[in-house]
Structure 1
Amino acid sequence: MDFTPSEEQAAAQGLAARIFGDLSTHDRLVAAGSGTDAGLWKEICAAGLPGAAEETGLLGLVLLAEEQGRTTAQVPFVASCVYGLLAIAEHGTDEQRERLLPSFRDGTAVAAGAFPAAGTVHAEADEGPDAEGGGRLNGIVPLVPWLRDATHVLVAAADRSLWIVRAAGPGVVTESVETTAPWSAGRLVLDGAPAERLGGSGAYEEVLAGARTAFAGVQAGVCAGSLARAVEHTGAREQFGRPLSTNQAVLLRAADAYMDTEAIRVTAYEAAWRHDEGLPYAEQALTSAWWASEAGRRVVHAGQHLHGGTGADLDHPVHRHFLWGRQLDAHLGGSGTVLQELGELLVKEGPE
């Protein structure tokens, strides 16, 4: 395994770091509230970052996802890439790719993902010679991150088939929902909504594994950003005439957080690398999701704790990392649920 970024991946990550670092500032995040920073999204798309994610593979997207997480940038970048750009590029028909991909590349179209399949959405395929993979969807998805920004929603039906619906289409109702992190989320209600099928057998599992890997990359960035703030704070803040960072308890807590962050990062890299190499990666995607959920929760708690009373201030930048870390834990399914799924997969596959 070689996780060294290619020249193209390194260039894309550097560009993302500069744009997110320059524009995803505390003042702009406060101004955005629970919505998206439209100006930042425009800059990201003008720089071609969605297209770069498509060209540099899942590992490239994980690298870019880290930069979004590091600054908790309030844009639907990763969601639109995994549920729109990459899903259609890998599982769409030639006609779907030609029709849909250009708008996802330039950001005029934004995708959200109603995942995973939980038995609440039922699909009925159209019949007849002119059906062409169409269908109707009925059901409710209580929480879809970034739904309020989406022009398209990739919906996982109860039978694990994938369907694309237009967020503003007939039979589709979206309602605002507040979450731990300000992810512009919503409740999706489908009542005979027209939809088009995406992919066939195995597409659901592939898209879900890719999404888990990419959002683990976001968590790696969130944790790295939280830890960087904690290091800066404990290095500058003095107690009894010396920096807090010289206290052994502080050093050990920060060291544990650093190791957890690296574990999240390397497992996400491994899953993404295996995907790009055409190797099976279901186990690795679940492993990265477990680390992101379990260890990510520890890291953002540590980052807030190391700030002392300042960390309890809801307006302090480190608190946003805390909220993102907890929301990503929930979005990935929770460490217990992910671990159970990983165990079931290992038992099913048996020893090599």
Structure 2
Amino acid sequence: MVPITTTTRRGIFFVNTYDDTDRRPLSQVYREHPRAYRTGGSELQNFNYFIERARIEGLAADAADRLRRRLLAHPYAFSEMTSLEECLPLDGERRWLLQGLWPYGTFPALVGQAKVGKSTMVAQLVAELATENGRFLGFRSTLTREERARRIVVVNAEVNPQDYAQAIVQHLPDEAELEDAEEYPMDNIRLINLAAASEFDLTDPEKYDRWKLSLTEVTEGGERAPAVLIVDGLTPILEGAGTPADKPGPLVQAIKNLCREVGIDNALMVAHTIQNGGHQLGGIAAAAGPDGTWRYVARDPDAHNPTRKFSVKPRMGGMLIPPRRWSWTRMAV
């Protein structure tokens, strides 16, 4: 039996999936009704139904719960209180994505002047994250093989796709240098080259729903989201959507919400500073959204091969890194 579907005046689906004769995968139900509001039956019945279907389909419990929450999309589902003990790291130590630079589970921003080389820096970052024990600026990646297999995904809003791909490949190790001959880093990387930058305007509810689907895939082991998402960059996305480049706050929050909802643990957002290398476009309001700021600036960005400096101003839990001269293989004081 096909689930009964009706539409309210607000255009919101009511999908009755509490039907033992409906044997379609949950992922298929969601793809056909991406804006589902609630399912038939009580909350407890629906929860038990989803868990049972998840068990039959072999989905992990956390993936089933995320899918259930998406199908319900309940507007009154508030965050719950948790104890301090539940918030602490299991082994007592804070995990890092890049040891000493990027705390795991955070969403920082990389900012710098136009044409200073932010995308070139991102290309090296992506290559190192995709490689076992990769080192970016000397900071070691902690991603496991299973996490790297979830892929590092780059949303490219302005760079020529061939140029971006070549820049990433340039920093990948040769096959003879690989520690694991069965894992090739190129397989762990995906580029999403936007046909129009406004495609990634997540402040648009329809586009937000579409990207929830596009950024996840259902595998035999459950629902899988990227290990790392990099959005390069915010300025063309904002301008393409008709939003002033100095008003990135709603887009930044939408990116963070999307990552949390689909299970993307780490994300980096690339944005512009004013041309003298000072604050990010948007000032204090723009800097408040990301989990810390990586600043990559040049004193004279219009000069040929200017001296560039990299620094980090973290949110709580990160590590402060004072300005250091940029080198392709290391950071020099």
Q: TM-score, normalised by structure 2?
A: 0.27
Q: TM-score, normalised by structure 1?
A: 0.26
Higher normalized strand content (fraction of residues) = 2
Higher Cα radius of gyration: 2
